[in-house]
Amino acid sequence: MTLPLPPREESIDLLALLQKHRLALLSLVSLSILTAVGALHTIPKLYKSKAVISIQPSYFQNPLAMGTDTHEVLELKNQRELMLKKALSNEFLEELDEKYHLSYRATSRVESKVGPLPARSAEEQDRLRKRFELYFVNSMTFQLSFIASQPDSAYVVVQASTRRILSFLEESRRQMILATQKAIEADLDAMDPPPEPLAQQSQRQLNDRTAETHETTVASNDIHFYKREVSQLESRVRLLSLVYSPTHPELRHLKSRLKALKSWMTASEPELPTKPNHDETTPGLGKITRSNSNIYEDLLRKWHYLNVALSVEHQKDNPQLLVIEAPSIYREPVWPKFDTLATWCLGGGLVIFVFWVILMEWVEHRKRSEL
């Protein structure tokens, strides 16, 4: 007795299936391409313009602390992101919308020319902000782009945004330097030394008074007159020592005059004190010490250095803010693109073709089994 053989599994011949349903395949491919072409001419086109800007690490450093690396890369990146968000504020976006008619409500107002622009809702603000693309190429460089329905609109918005960012960053750094200058000015005022014009004025008065005193001393032998002269010269020497170096010609002349008077008075009256205490209080200056003089000179140098830094950073080419790629007009839309649409349509057509073949083969198999 022979046993029946098990049913033999049928293998699927893909080439035979493609040959069998070639008309359906060609029809779906043609339909996919026509759909992609139709979508390309129907979907509203979107254009993008971009700019690439670099913010150097020295931008965040105080001019008085240049050359020191005190910031981490992540910290500087966070500071850059914060500065960019402040630059592209809601008020600035509102100005762009009113000037270039970016949103639908602004366009409707231009077309109707009736009534003021209504208040922007939070949803409209968020929708307009999403049209800006801001991402970092590296820790120092970022790319700013904007998407619009016209290439010229995208270009002018990116151009205005780039100018806004650069001006905001330059003004922020300028305010930082000015704040440092004001802090130094407060310290200088607290020390209350004579400013340079006053020192020059005092020096001229001293020269005139010294000349008059010299003529008077020739005809007078009053020792008390010389005491007052020595006291005045010592006060002037201390004042000018805060402003000028010891080798200054006028200061050396006053010191030689003072030394000559002291020598003459020592010979005339030995008990005369030769030199007052350096910590003696001088009217308008409080305690005058050599350390205060050095601190004052150092603060004054820093104040002048910040003035130089301000003038340098106001130049046209700021080395701390670099526009690596200026905004430009791109005539080719970023959406829709034919290759993207064709890929989607062909992929969809292929899925439909597979389901079509499966359905047709199942129907055919069922008919054969019923016979």
Q: Rounded to an integer, what distance in angstroms lies between the CA atom of residue 137 and that of residue 365? A: 58
Q: DSSP state, 46?
A: B
Q: Rounded to an integer, what distance in angstroms lies between the CA atom of residue 150 and that of residue 48? A: 9
Question: What is the helix (H) or strand (E) element at residue 173, kind and residue range?
Answer: helix 151-191
Task: Give the gyration radius of the chain's Cα atoms.
Answer: 43
| Confidence (pLDDT) at 277 | 46
| Nearest-10 crossing angle of helices 196-219, 223-241 | 160
Do 79 and 162 touch, CB atoms closer than 8 A? Answer: no
According to DSSP, the residues that pair with 109 across neighbouring strands are none
Nearest to 191 by CA among 318, 44, 334, 291: 291
Q: Is 220 exposed, middle or buried (0-12, 13-18, 19+ CB in 10 A)?
A: exposed
Structural tokens at position 249: 């010609």
Do 117 and 109 touch, CB atoms closer than 8 A? Answer: yes
3-state SS assignment for residue 335 = strand
Give the count of beta carbons closer than 10 Å to the beta carbon of residue 16. 9
Q: Rounded to an integer, what distance in angstroms lies between the CA atom of residue 333 and that of residue 32? A: 21
Do 299 and 64 touch, CB atoms closer than 8 A? Answer: no
Q: Rounded to an integer, what distance in angstroms lies between the CA atom of residue 192 and that of residue 209? A: 25
Strands 286-287 and 321-325, by their bridges, are unpaired
Nearest to 92 by CA among 140, 53, 46, 146: 146
| Confidence (pLDDT) at 67 | 61
Give the count of beta carbons closer than 10 Å to the beta carbon of residue 327. 23
Q: DSSP state, 2?
A: P
Nearest to 209 by CA among 192, 223, 228: 228
- Residues in the chain predicted with pLDDT less than 70, given as ranges, are 1-12, 66-73, 104-120, 192-226, 239-240, 242-245, 248-249, 264-265, 267-292, 316, 371
Q: Which strands form 141-148's sheet, in the order they lie side by side?
A: 132-136, 141-148, 47-55, 321-325
Nearest to 199 by CA among 238, 232, 230: 238
Do 180 and 84 touch, CB atoms closer than 8 A? Answer: no
Residue ranges and CATH numbers for the domains of the chain are: 47-189+319-325 (3.30.70.1130), 194-284 (no CATH)
Q: Is 358 exposed, middle or buried (0-12, 13-18, 19+ CB in 10 A)?
A: exposed
Give the count of beta carbons closer than 10 Å to the beta carbon of residue 180. 18
Question: What is the helix (H) or strand (E) element at residue 227, kind and residue range?
Answer: helix 223-241
Structural tokens at position 61: 């450093």
Q: Rounded to an integer, what distance in angstroms lies between the CA atom of residue 365 and that of residue 17? A: 14
| Confidence (pLDDT) at 252 | 75
Contacts of 348 (CB under 8 A, 6+ apart): 32
